[in-house]
């Protein structure tokens, strides 16, 4: 109890220094403990066990079974019809932007 009374009588700046010294000491001791614990975990690290837990070969097989997404190719006649319909509804600026993304053969056929 005498220690607490002495501490309370100290000026505030000294009390802050003592507080931060205790906090830093505590933080450093926790950090050292954490580093040692990580070192132990790394020494006991078993790669084969991790691979089994992750199921990497099974995952590769599952990815092969996923159907691939393919964009159907439309015949040029349908594309021409759609382009004509778009020409009616779009402004000239929007139409120019659209033609930038169209395959060259379709835009050349329109001309």
Predicted confidence band of residue 104 (pLDDT cuts 50, 70, 90): low
96 with 69: CB under 8 angstroms?
no
Token pair, residue 76, equals 């040029």
Predicted TM-score (pTM) of the model is: 0.40
Reported as a single tens digit per residue, the pLDDT across 23-71 is 999 999 999 999 999 988 887 776 667 766 666 667 777 777 888 777 7
Are the C-beta atoms of 76 and 106 separated by less than 8 Å?
Answer: yes
DSSP assignment letter at 44: T
- Give me the phi and psi of 73, to 5 degrees please: -95, 130
Beta-strand ranges (E) seen in 3-110 are none
């Amino acid at each position: 109890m005498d220690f607490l009374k002495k501490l309370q009588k100290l000026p505030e700046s000294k009390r802050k220094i003592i507080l931060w010294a205790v906090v830093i000491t505590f933080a450093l001791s926790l950090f050292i403990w954490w580093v040692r614990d990580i070192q132990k975990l790394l020494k006991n690290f078993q790669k084969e066990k991790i691979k089994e837990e992750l199921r990497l070969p099974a995952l590769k097989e599952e990815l092969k079974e996923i159907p691939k997404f393919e964009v159907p190719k439309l015949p040029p006649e349908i594309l021409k019809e759609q382009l004509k319909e778009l020409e009616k509804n779009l402004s000239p600026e929007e139409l120019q932007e659209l033609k930038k993304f169209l395959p060259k053969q379709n835009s050349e056929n329109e001309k």
